[in-house]
Structure 1
Amino acid sequence: MNAPTQLIFLPGASGDPAFWQPMANALTYEAEHQFLAYPGFGAEPADPDVENFEDLVRRLVQRIDRPTALIAQSMGGVLALRAALAKPALVTHLVLAVTSGGLDMQALGASDWRESFGKENPHLPDWFLTLREDLTGELPYIQQPVMLLWGDEDPISPLSVGEKLLELLPNSELDLVNGGGHDLANAHARVLAPLVDEFLQQA
């Protein structure tokens, strides 16, 4: 596996790429940083070429033109996994923080955040909130090293989800943040950055 020369950071359902800025600032691994913004989310203007999740997957895949590590928050992790399946030769590493990973979240004890989040953010496109992506059968085919970042106080993506992904992804590790919630990659960026740096140097 090649060393990544590009890091692409993927936000969660808020679509706010600034979520990853503290982590990006704390990383010492030398690579170009790109922050994917979701058209129509937050300050990012809408784009007629991105009207659903499949369009967003296609946009991300188009950016992967060299060895790339994908660093994703929450629902951005589903996007990262789809891209890894689409471009296995160029996606070198995956860092997935409190993601659903395309699993049945309700069966794993997760609280349903979508309705309340949609009411609090009525200006956001609804296609990310209504996404139901089942990647269970495809996860064993992902051969890239995967770092799973989880907290033990996250009702949206509880530890049971991370443990299930650890079981399904053949080349994965699970790093637990005691007291970590759904914002752990942002709130604990300085603590996690050295672990991510070390992970990105693994072949």
Structure 2
Amino acid sequence: MKITKFLLLFSLFLVTTGCASLGMGSRPLSELTTNYTNDASRFQAVDDLVIHYRDEGQGPVLVLLHGVASSLHTWDGWTEQLKDRYRIIRIDLPAHGLTGPDPKLERYQIGYMVDKLDKFLNKIGVRKAALAGNSLGGYIAWNYALHRPDRIEKLILIDAAGYPQDMPFIMNFAALPVIGEMSTLMMPRFIVSSNIHDAYGDEDKVSDQLVKRYHDLTLRPGNRKGLVNVFRTMKEQSHNPQLGDRVRDIRTPTLLLWGEEDQWVPLTVMERFRQDLPNAQVITYEGVGHMPMEELPVQSARDAAQFLRGQAATIPYQSAQGG
């Protein structure tokens, strides 16, 4: 029923709107680089990729990993709040943002993502860091903490993937045969907008500028195909019963931050993390969706900083509110 309704809406959209909103064709990389870099932006070659990252602030290193179909810009609020106390390093993951896809890959397995992060940190000379990740970035983060426990001093998981669950509808849909191939040719703005609205608890916080940024960066050459391959990788793993088996092996001090209205990675997944990480601290945010660092940047950054300073963020498990 959902697919039939979506196809009807999509057909109506094709009839009533012009090609500009369909996401057909790619935006020139030079144009996107001009619009979505700043003085803190850097580019680092890692194997066949040139990774876009930003390096801001001074102090202990905090590495930030964004979620699926997002970019390093999701951390703008955190960076503004924390860069006076921390050296903030945030990257565009492979197949995302200005980094773009690895042309040799059809799947983005976790081993590949962990290896690229490790090589990147080696290249820029980071030996010790705290690591925070949202969604897909959280999945990479906890797997990296297992791979390099010597390097990661503290771990923050924000609505992180890690256990078997249903995929968000639009990602599951885009991963289908034929539909996925269509998605590599076009990425309508209304689909991107719908995704963001679904991911937010308070849809009033979704601005036209936010939708434009997300949509523009999907139109980087190669990103649509790369994202479909990411979706297909996630779909293949989403019902893997062993997906989260190694979470209980994590010894790194961990903070779980979660939006209580998250429809993509719900609180039931957070509870699995809490059960497997009995010493983890937990904060949930009432009325917030999948990306607390975007919806509630000041409060979530404050909670993260308190944890990084070694102070108890809350009595696990307790809902927190703030702005």
TM-score between both structures, scaled by the size of structure 1: 0.84
Q: For 2:96 and 2:225, how far apart are their aligned partners in 1?
A: 5
Q: For 1:179 and 1:19, how far apart are their aligned partners in 2?
A: 19
Q: Corresponding residue for 1:39?
A: 94
Q: Corresponding residue for 1:160?
A: 268
1:55 CA displacement? 2.4
Q: Corresponding residue for 2:68?
A: 13
Q: Which shifted more, 34-43 or 121-130? A: 121-130
Change (3 A) 1:124 1:185: farther
Helix, strand or coil for the counterpart of 1:162?
Answer: helix
1:104-154, CA deviations, whole angstroms, 9 ceiling, x for partnerless residues?
123xxx754423566546815133212216442211110111111111111
1:38-97, CA deviations, whole angstroms, 9 ceiling, x for partnerless residues?
233233243457763332210112216422111111111110011101101111111111
Q: Which shifted more, 185-194 or 43-52? A: 43-52
Q: Corresponding residue for 1:114?
A: 171
Q: Corresponding residue for 2:321?
A: none
Q: Corresponding residue for 1:123?
A: 224
Query: Which ranges of structure 2 fall in alignment gaps of 5 or more residues?
Result: 1-58, 176-182, 184-190, 192-217, 312-323
Check the 8 A contact 1:7/1:70 in 2, yes or no: yes
Letter in 2 for 1:104: P
Q: Which shifted more, 115-124 or 179-188? A: 115-124
Q: For 1:15 and 1:124, how far apart are their aligned partners in 2?
A: 15
Letter in 1 for 2:276: L
Change (3 A) 1:46 1:127: closer
Q: Corresponding residue for 2:32?
A: none
1:16-58, CA deviations, whole angstroms, 9 ceiling, x for partnerless residues?
1100111121126733211121233233243457763332210
Alignment partner for residue 103 of structure 1, among 163, 177, 186? Answer: 163
Check the 8 A contact 2:164/2:243 in 1, yes or no: no
Check the 8 A contact 1:7/1:31 in 2, yes or no: yes
- Does 1:60 find its partner at 2:117? yes
Change (3 A) 1:113 1:166: farther
Query: Which ranges of structure 1 fall in alignment gaps of 5 or more residues?
Result: none
Check the 8 A contact 1:10/1:35 in 2, yes or no: yes
Helix, strand or coil for the counterpart of 1:127?
Answer: helix
Helix, strand or coil for the counterpart of 2:230?
Answer: coil
Q: For 2:300 and 2:100, how far apart are their aligned partners in 1?
A: 31
Helix, strand or coil for the counterpart of 1:128?
Answer: helix
RCO higher in structure (CA 8 A, sep ≥6): 1
- The size of the alignment, in residue pairs, is 196
**Superposition RMSD on alpha carbons, in Å?**
2.5
Change (3 A) 1:83 1:29: farther
Give the greater-gyration-radius structure (CA): 2
TM-score between both structures, scaled by the size of structure 2: 0.55
Whose helix fraction is larger, Structure 1's or Structure 2's?
A: 2
